[in-house]
Amino acid sequence: MRKSFFFSLFFLFSQIILAQKTDSEAGIYELFDVSLEEILNIGIVTASKKKQNASDAPASAYIVTKEQIQQRGYTNLLELLEDVPEIEIQRNSVADYKNLASIRGIAGNEKFIILLNGVRITPATGDKYILSTNFSLISVIRVEVILGPASALYGVDAFSGIINLITESQENPKPALVQAAVSGGNFGTIDSQVALSLKADKLKVSLAGSFYQTQEPNLAKYYPNDLAWFNSQFLAQGKVIESPQYQRIIDFVDFNTKDSIPRNWETPSRSLYIQGDITYGDFSIFFMRHTERHSSSTGLSPEFAIRMPSVFVSQNLNTLALQHRYTSFNKKWTLQSTVSYNFSELSPESNYMSAVTFWNKAYRYEFGKSVKLEEQFTYDFSKKTSLIVGGTAEHLNALPRTTFFQNPFDRSIPATFQKLNYLGRDSQNETLELLSLDSLEPKFFYLQYENYGIYSQLQTAFGKNIQMTAGMRYDYNTRYGGAFNPRIGLVFSPLSTLRIKFMYGESFLSPSPNKAFEHYGSFIIVEKKLESDFFRFPEPNLQPEKLRSLESSISFFPTPNVNIALNGFYTEVNNLIENIISNESKIFPLFNITTIRIASIERPVNRGKSRVYGGTFKLNWRKKWGTHLSSNPYLAYTFTDGTVSDSRLLFTAKHTLKGGIDLNYKRLSASLRGWYRSESYSQLLDGREGGNIANLPFWTLNFFAQYQIRMRKKTKQPDLVVFTKFNNLTNNRFYHVFAGNAEGLGRTPQDPLRFALGFRYNWE
């Protein structure tokens, strides 16, 4: 049925295309009829909170324009980041957060901040967040990616980078604009997006939203050897393994009578994104909400986790901001005031069913929220010299991620009144049914704290060839004290076509509520006494991680349409937070409640240190062939190496090659993109081969093509486009690495070929 549906769509599209005139109107190539130098030097605001050419910004920056987003078929931020040099994505590698991002060898989604028009839309508490299809690009006119430390301007958690999504309503808003796109693909995938905006005198209104859902591929079908247990043991016999510690094979159906054994692999996922803003004169109000839901068994071995629709994890992120910008009559200075509210939570319905929960449904909960006030004063002494001074005051509340419960957490009732208990079972109970440990009440850490910051930045030029940026910021947090972070950057341009940059910066990463206070575990009753094979304990006294980075780069335009660039960096992180595990069985006091024998104890501590170094060589060429054909091939090779606590660098390949080519001919455009990665290493150890588990080197290709069915005569811009999209074009079988504990696969299988057909409509 699905095959015939897509064949019919393809046939219909081909007939529409063949029926169009191709010689009377201009085509897609005119959207890109500017030089490469103009594109790479487009204005950027994120690097210094002041708009300037990217070539002059005191940072390693990548800018992706709306034209490039549409040319390459990016629909969400994750797809775009995979093509950015020095960023590595491990897909399907984290059960709770699905995908793991590394920037220059610094792994962790919480170690960089995502902004929308300069306002933070990732958790203000610094906790980890899901990075998947939940960050839509439908209303985005430009994405600014800043690599390296940014705490001197953005404070806490601007550790490895900043990503800023600039929407259409913020720059060059149209009197009226409607954008919509919808596509359907294999594995029951639907991706629909819409954006509306209106401008009338001083009033600007915009609204955007997207919905994505997919059934996801049955990986046990495409990787039968890696997931053999699912086919031969679970589906055929209903067999699972009790736990990584106790390798007893048991019957899943015996103790889970409420849910029948699923007869196939079912791991659906979906995401929802809503964003809007209203601006009148110098006042604006902005809101954003996005949610993502996926299987809580992502990346886990099938003998330790279940693949069924009711087993999922879902995260909600919400932001509301009010801004006022005052500009003096002589336009020498501006004062910008921002009040923002940020709320994030793990949905209380999130359900975990695995060996960790004794193969029964179990639930967790967390939330974090903040109210923040920021004042920023900018003064332009001249065209060459400007000063920025600002301050922030922020109040935060959080409930760090709880342990597992038998019932969902009720947000309307205080935790102490909900009769929630740790998971446990009787050692003589062969069915592993959960017991209510009434004698052991779980601990809840409700946190309230403040963060205050002041910052300043001076930018000036010495003659025509040298620009300098110097800044500093001091933050004081009532949980862990103060942190000072400086930055300095020099941009030297001996020729108009040559830029040389030298930059030094520091940043800090606060110990988030989850990192410091998350705790979980389960218990076995042995002769009326409690024992546990594993428990994670909180550590309230964690201190921030500290990063120092030194980098330099050179960019040269031998012609306006050819760019050659080279950069190098060295990063050092001290006070690195690592989890230590004690495998010795011992008596340990649990929250001063009772004494329990725990076989394996995990606790976070500040004891690590990492050193990462590397660089990237880039080549970009833009060429117009005759009247109708244009091309843009590009290539980037990145080398990254280093150590973490005297061990190898994790979750980052030593050699990465990313590149592609954009082609435009009349109304037709196509983009072929791909990358090669050498092996990346997991934190898990390989007992057979020794050392850390690593994936094999691999390469993959993505392809996107679109055709303009109809164009507006006045603007020569497309208003109806048909497109097709292929991810993993050659249907390769390859792996990323798992970022979790012993129940993980180690090497996580990646999706086979995914394809889609769709329409995009623009009206203005």
User: What pLDDT, on the 0 to 100 scale, is given for residue 239?
Assistant: 87
In the structure encoding, which two tokens stand for residue 511, read together? Answer: 């110990």
DSSP at 136: B
CA dist., res. 374 & res. 120, Å (int): 12
Q: Give the C-alpha distances (Å, rounded to integers) separating 743 from 535, 598, 673.
A: 15, 19, 34
CA dist., res. 105 & res. 156, Å (int): 19
Strands (E), 528-627: 529-532, 535-536, 545-559, 562-582, 586-590, 594-598, 601-621, 623-625
Residues whose CB is less than 8 angstroms from the CB of residue 170 and which lie 6 or more positions away in sequence, other chains included: 117, 141
User: What pLDDT, on the 0 to 100 scale, is given for residue 175?
Assistant: 79
| DSSP letter string, 23-61 | SSS--GGGGG-S-HHHHHT-EE-TTTTS-EEGGGSSSEE
Name residue 19's amino acid.
Answer: A
Q: Which backbone phi and psi does 699 adopt, to 5 degrees?
A: -140, 155
Contact 199, 227 (CB under 8 A): no
What fold does the segment set 20-193+203-763 form as a domain? Maltoporin; Chain A (2.40.170)
CA dist., res. 624 & res. 715, Å (int): 21
Residues whose CB is less than 8 angstroms from the CB of residue 474 and which lie 6 or more positions away in sequence, other chains included: 453, 454, 455, 482, 483, 484, 485
Annotate 595-627 with b (16+ C-beta within 10 A) or e (fewer).
Answer: ebbbbbbbebebebbbbbbbbbebebbbebeee
CA dihedral 508, 364, 317, 183 (to 10 degrees): 120
User: What pLDDT, on the 0 to 100 scale, is given for residue 542?
Assistant: 93
The sign of the torsion formed by the CA atoms of 71, 72, 73, 77 equals: negative
**Is residue 178 packed enough to be buried (19+ CB in 10 Å), middle (13-18) or exposed (0-12)?**
middle
pLDDT digits (tens, 9 = 90+) for 52-67: 777 788 888 899 999 9
Predicted model pTM:
0.92
pLDDT digits (tens, 9 = 90+) for 590-620: 665 566 777 778 889 998 899 999 999 999 9
**Hey, where are the domains in the chain?**
20-193+203-763
Neighbours of 355 (CB within 10 A): 24
DSSP at 516: H
Cα–Cα nearest to 582, from 528, 650, 649, 535: 535
Instruction: Count H helices and E strands in the chain, helices first.
Output: 9, 49
CA dist., res. 456 & res. 454, Å (int): 7
Where the chain has pLDDT below 70, the residues are 1-41, 253-263, 425-440, 528, 583-595, 687-690, 712-718
| DSSP letter string, 270-314 | EEEEEEEEEEETTEEEEEEEEEEEEETTTTB-TTTB---TT-EEE
